[in-house]
Structure 1
Amino acid sequence: MRVVSLSYVASNVTDPEAWLSRLSLFTGILNRLTRFAAVASFHCIAGNAVLSRGNVTYFFFRLLPGETWLPFRLHRRVKRWGPDVVIVHSLSFPLQVILLRLQFGRNIRILVQDHKERPGHFLRQMLQRMADRCVDAYLFTYTEQAQPWLKNRIIAHPRKVKQLFEGSSAFVPSDRDEARRRTGVGPGVVYLWVGRLVAFKDPVTVVSAFLRFLKGDRKADLYMIFQTTDLLNEIKALLDDHPDAASSIHLVGKVDHDELVHWYNSADFFILGSHDEGTNISLCEAMSCGCIPIVTDIPAFREMTGNGKCGLLFPPGDKERLLKTLVESVRLDLACEKQKTLNQFRSTLSFDAIAERLIKILS
Structure 2
Amino acid sequence: MKKDDIRFHVVFITLAYKDVSVSDFFNYAVCQVNQAMGLAEQNVRVTVISRFSTDKKISRNGVEYYFVNDGKSSCLKKWQLSKKTTNLVFSMNPDIIHLHGFFFPRFFNYLLRKNKGKSKVVLEYHSDSIPRKLKWIAARNFRKVDKIIFANYQAARLWAKSFSLSENKWAFSIECAPDSKFMKRESARQISGFSGFPIFLWNSRLITRRDPLTVISGFEAFLKLGTYPYSHFYMMIPDCDEALFMELTQKIAASELLKNAVSIIKERKPLNKIAAYFNSADYVISGSLEDGYGYGVADAMSCGVIPIVTDISTFKQITGNGLVGGLWEAGNAKLLAESITLTVSRTFPTIKDEALRVSNYFDKHLSQKAH
Question: Could you tell me the TM-score, scaled by structure 2's length?
Answer: 0.80
Alignment: residue pair count: 347
Other-structure match for 1:128:
138
2:191 is aligned with 1:195: no
Q: 1:263 aligns with which of 271, 277, 285?
A: 277
Please state how far the C-alpha of 1:270 moved relative to its aligned partner. 1.3
| Pairs within 5 Å for 1:149-164 | 149-153=159-163, 155-164=164-173
Other-structure match for 2:345:
330
Distance in 2 (CA, whole Å) between partners of 1:89 and 1:56 is 17
Please state how far the C-alpha of 1:29 moved relative to its aligned partner. 1.2
Letter in 2 for 1:317: G
2:108 is aligned with 1:97: yes
Aligned Cα RMSD in Å? 3.1
Please state how far the C-alpha of 1:256 moved relative to its aligned partner. 3.3
Residues 139-180 of structure 1: CA deviation (Å, up to 9, x unaligned): 122232244533332x53233122222454777222211222
Q: 1:25 aligns with which of 21, 24, 31?
A: 31
Other-structure match for 1:3:
9
Change (3 A) 1:129 1:235: same
Deviates more, 1:330-339 or 1:13-22: 13-22
Please state how far the C-alpha of 1:10 moved relative to its aligned partner. 6.0
- Which structure's CA Rg is the greater one? 1
| Pairs within 5 Å for 1:76-91 | 76-91=87-102
Please state how far the C-alpha of 1:81 moved relative to its aligned partner. 2.3
Deviates more, 1:323-332 or 1:298-307: 323-332
Distance in 1 (CA, whole Å) between partners of 2:215 and 2:103 is 34
Distance in 2 (CA, whole Å) between partners of 1:231 and 1:173 is 34
2:66 is aligned with 1:56: no
Other-structure match for 1:359:
none
Residues 200-236 of structure 1: CA deviation (Å, up to 9, x unaligned): 3333443444344343443441223243424324532
Work out whether residues 100 and 124 of structure 2, in 8 Å CA contact, stay in contact via their aligned partners in 1. yes
Deviates more, 1:209-218 or 1:176-185: 209-218
Distance in 2 (CA, whole Å) between partners of 1:129 and 1:323 is 42
Distance in 2 (CA, whole Å) between partners of 1:170 and 1:203 is 29
Letter in 1 for 2:251: I
Q: 1:311 aligns with which of 307, 310, 325?
A: 325
| Pairs within 5 Å for 1:140-219 | 140-153=150-163, 155-168=164-177, 172-186=181-195, 188-214=197-223, 215-219=225-229
User: Secondary structure at 1:106's aligned position in 2?
Assistant: coil
Change (3 A) 1:110 1:181: same
Query: Runs of 5+ in structure 1 lacking a partner?
Result: 357-363
Question: Could you tell me the TM-score, scaled by structure 1's length?
Answer: 0.82
User: Secondary structure at 1:117's aligned position in 2?
Assistant: coil
Distance in 1 (CA, whole Å) between partners of 2:104 and 2:212 is 34
Work out whether residues 148 and 171 of structure 2, in 8 Å CA contact, stay in contact via their aligned partners in 1. yes
Deviates more, 1:133-142 or 1:1-10: 1-10
User: Secondary structure at 1:50's aligned position in 2?
Assistant: strand
Distance in 2 (CA, whole Å) between partners of 1:49 and 1:169 is 26
Residue identity over aligned pairs, in percent, reads: 24
Distance in 1 (CA, whole Å) between partners of 2:92 and 2:177 is 27
Please state how far the C-alpha of 1:118 moved relative to its aligned partner. 1.0
Letter in 1 for 2:278: Y
Work out whether residues 222 and 337 of structure 2, in 8 Å CA contact, stay in contact via their aligned partners in 1. yes
Change (3 A) 1:208 1:71: closer
Change (3 A) 1:175 1:296: same
Please state how far the C-alpha of 1:247 moved relative to its aligned partner. 6.5
Change (3 A) 1:324 1:149: closer
Distance in 1 (CA, whole Å) between partners of 2:98 and 2:122 is 5
Work out whether residues 213 and 248 of structure 2, in 8 Å CA contact, stay in contact via their aligned partners in 1. no
Work out whether residues 97 and 134 of structure 1, in 8 Å CA contact, stay in contact via their aligned partners in 2. no
Change (3 A) 1:195 1:85: closer
Change (3 A) 1:256 1:282: same
Distance in 2 (CA, whole Å) between partners of 1:109 and 1:351 is 22
Deviates more, 1:224-233 or 1:162-171: 162-171
Distance in 1 (CA, whole Å) between partners of 2:220 and 2:204 is 19
Residues 259-290 of structure 1: CA deviation (Å, up to 9, x unaligned): 54333222211122222222232212211211
Other-structure match for 2:362:
345
Please state how far the C-alpha of 1:342 moved relative to its aligned partner. 0.9
Letter in 1 for 2:143: R
Distance in 2 (CA, whole Å) between partners of 1:235 and 1:288 is 31
Work out whether residues 193 and 222 of structure 1, in 8 Å CA contact, stay in contact via their aligned partners in 2. no
Distance in 2 (CA, whole Å) between partners of 1:49 and 1:157 is 39
Please state how far the C-alpha of 1:33 moved relative to its aligned partner. 0.3
2:118 is aligned with 1:112: no
Work out whether residues 191 and 220 of structure 1, in 8 Å CA contact, stay in contact via their aligned partners in 2. no
Change (3 A) 1:264 1:130: same
